[in-house]
Amino acid sequence: MANIFAKKPLAQLLGEANSSGHGTLKRTLGALNLMALGIGAIIGAGLFVRTAAAAAQTSGPGVTLAFVVAAIGCAFAGLCYAEFAAMIPIAGSAYTYAYTTMGEFVAWVIGWALIMEYALGAATVAIAWSEYLNKLLEVFGTSIPYSLSHSPFESSVVDGITQQGFINLPALLIIVVLSLLLIKGTQESAIFNAVIVVVKVAIVLIFIAVGWQFINHANHTPYLIPDNAEPVKNAAGAIVREYTGWNKHGWGGILGGAGIVFFAFIGFDAVSTAAQEAKNPKRDMPIGILGSLAICTVLYILFGHVLTGVANWREFADPALGGEASVTYAIAAHMPGYEWLATAVTVAILAGFSSVILVMLMGQSRVFFSMANDGLMPKAFSELHPKFRTPYKSNLALLVFVGLFAAFVPGSLAGDLTSFGTLLAFVLVSAGVWIMRKSDPAQHRPFRAPLSSPSFPFVPLMGMLVCTAMIVGLDADTLKLAVIWMLLGFVVYFVYGKRNSKLQQGIVVIPTEMEEQAFIEPDKDNL
């Protein structure tokens, strides 16, 4: 009977990483490109939406501390990702790392979970992109008809007239455009992403700089929500927010807020999926992963400080204000003369969504590429374009799947499934570093996660514990859908993946000693 926990030999992975033939991805990305990819994936709507939500629900002005706690949790996983990405610069990210440390079945599980993170996440963000495009068009006195910008499962009543959705054309359009851009080439996609990153980071910095002048320091006192905080009521007098729970005030509220703003950090792990396209992965991958995480953390803290200083956190507790329009509300209500900045924020959100979709589609296609190379997915997903050397059939398949989802399914359906896939990947990568340190301690590691020895695996253990706790903290409906998705994945593995696995069939190509040595010896000129 085949061993479903068989591990892919590390020597084979290193040989694949060292290969430069026609069937390999083109190495075009430098450290700055990778850092821009990370920032592009991280800074999306999360910064503009989650900040006000966490402040209103649990943290108050202390949302800045919630960002710090969430960043620390991400940093543990980020250090583990950086060690793996520098040591095994292969497309596929957590899937590839799990294959060589915990075996094929665990690798399949994480690969299947990554579909939730990337594919469903890209579709959900595309739907939100469509909504914000309409908001921007409204500034110019026009909009896309409801029927052409919403799913057929959605309807709305305006002035007594029911409007029915038919197809979400803007969401489909952005998926098509970005998929074709990815097919054209990774370098072109990286340049496009870098331009978007500059635009949205510039607008974030402008908001911080301008908003700093309007900070009312009284809004930061007290800095944590007190345990006797009065409930917040809406205009009709109904209570919309209470703060009696242990995680709704004080330091417990900081922990509760960290769970909310964590989702604003999703994306830095997508950098590792591009490892096989990095020019010098030994140096560039750690810089790209940890650098993008550090930059975004600083921006998040400054943004949260300004937002809760300009407007009182209680103002965001009303769902009508504390949702997507929170930043626009703060500008309109407390920053007279800067109404143009509200429009600029909408542009930044659109740019943020675009880069998030781009990186998610790129990450998913690279996971498919690796899984197909191993025989766990149809071979077509591993075929590269003869000219562009990108996994174009994988991109085309995602264009169809993600495009149809974005065009015809409500965005709320995916919910927090994206977060589940991300957190599961974090847990397994953290565990993989510990396992690899014990099973192969002599392997050269261009970057080593600190405090991760086999006898004292502090960083991997904290990565596993923090991320597992966040999984447990997800709502019950999300966990039920995640279980159903994973059970479906088990069926696909045993029906198709296990039968076609190259490892199970003994199709393993081990590179020669010279080829392996050429890769694993450090390039001293670039370290």
Q: Please report the pLDDT score of residue 172 as a whole number.
A: 95
Angle in degrees, 0-180, between the axes of helices 417-439 and 458-472, rounded to the nearest 10 = 160
Single out the residue of 136, 76, 48, 92 nearest to residue 368, CA to CA: 92
Note the pLDDT of residue 18: 61
**Continuous segment of H or E residues that includes residue 350:** helix 339-373
In a domain, 472, yes or no: yes
Q: Cα angle vertex 108, ends 106, 111, to 5°?
A: 110
- pLDDT for residue 302 is more than 80: yes
Is a pLDDT exceeding 60 seen at residue 508?
no
Q: What DSSP designation does 230 have?
A: P
Quote the pLDDT of residue 385.
85
Does some domain include residue 5? Answer: no
pLDDT in tens, 247-256: 888 888 898 8
pLDDT digits (tens, 9 = 90+) for 434-474: 999 998 888 888 889 999 988 899 999 999 998 888 787 77
Structure-model confidence comparison of residues 243 and 478, the more confident one: 243
Per-residue tokens: 72: 């620390």
- The predicted pLDDT at position 421 comes to 81
- Which pLDDT band, with edges at 50, 70 and 90, does 511 fall under? very low
Does residue 379 fall inside a structural domain? Answer: yes
Residue 4: inside a domain: no
Q: Which residue has the higher pLDDT, 349 or 59?
A: 59
Nearest CA-CA partner of 117 in 388, 427, 331, 523: 427
Q: At what angle do helices 63-87 and 458-472 cross, to 10 degrees?
A: 120
Mean pLDDT lowest among 50-54, 144-148, 401-405: 50-54
Domain span at residue 60 reads 10-526
Query: Is the predicted pLDDT of residue 331 greater than 70, yes or no?
Result: yes
Residue 463: inside a domain, yes or no? yes
Determine phi and psi for 373, rounding to 5 degrees.
-60, -30
Report how far residue 60's alpha carbon sits from residue 221's, in angstroms, rounded to the nearest whole number.
10
**Residue 299: is its pLDDT beyond 80?**
yes
Residue 115 — very low, low, confident or very high, per pLDDT cuts 50/70/90? confident
Pairwise CA distance, residues 284 & 275, whole Å: 9
The segment with the largest mean pLDDT, out of 36-50, 116-130, 138-152, 190-204, is 138-152
CATH code of the domain covering residue 384: 1.20.1740.10
* Structural domain includes residue 362: yes
Poorest-pLDDT segment among 80-84, 161-165, 350-354, 392-396: 350-354
Within 150-243, residue ranges assigned H as helices are 169-184, 186-212
Percent of the chain with pLDDT over 70: 88
Q: Give yes or no for residue 20 having a pLDDT over 70.
A: no
- Classify residue 3: in a domain, yes or no: no
Per-residue pLDDT at 494:
94
For 377-395, what is each residue's pLDDT tens digit? 998 888 888 888 888 999 9
Domain-located, residue 381: yes
Share of the chain above pLDDT 90, in %: 27
Q: Is residue 74 within 8 Å of residue 385, measured between CB atoms? A: no
* Structural domain count, the chain: 1
Q: Report the phi/psi class of residue 71: left, alpha or beta, with left for phi > 0 and alpha for psi in -120 to 50.
A: alpha
Q: Taking the model in full, what pTM does it have?
A: 0.76
Sign of torsion over alpha carbons 391, 397, 400, 401? negative
**What pLDDT is attached to residue 515?**
32
> How far apart are the C-alpha atoms of 54 and 223, rounded to whole Å?
14
* pLDDT above 70 for 370: yes
pLDDT value of residue 414: 59
The answer for residues whose C-beta is within 8 angstroms of residue 149's C-beta and 6 or more apart is 130, 131, 134, 165, 168, 169, 170, 171
Q: How much is the average pLDDT of 356-367?
A: 84
Interval 62-94: pLDDT, tens: 999 999 988 888 889 888 988 888 887 776 678
Q: pLDDT, tens digit, for every residue of 475-505? A: 677 788 889 989 999 999 999 999 999 988 8
pLDDT band at 526 (very low <50, low <70, confident <90, very high): very low
Query: Taking residues 288-312, what's their average pLDDT?
Result: 93
Contact 47, 352 (CB under 8 A): yes
**Predicted confidence band of residue 509 (pLDDT cuts 50, 70, 90):** very low
* Buried b / exposed e along 206-218 (16+ C-beta atoms within 10 A): ebeebbeebbeee
Residue 22 pLDDT level (bands cut at 50, 70, 90): very low
Beta bridge partners of 232: 241
> DSSP E strands: which ranges in 303-420?
none
What one-character-per-residue DSSP string does 291-323 give? HHHHHHHHHHHHHHHHHHHHS-GGGGGSHHHHS
Three-state SS at 233: strand
208 confidence band (pLDDT: 50, 70, 90): very high
Residue 220 clears pLDDT 80, i.e. is over it: yes
Specify which residues 149 forms β-bridges with: 168
CA distance 281 to 501: 28
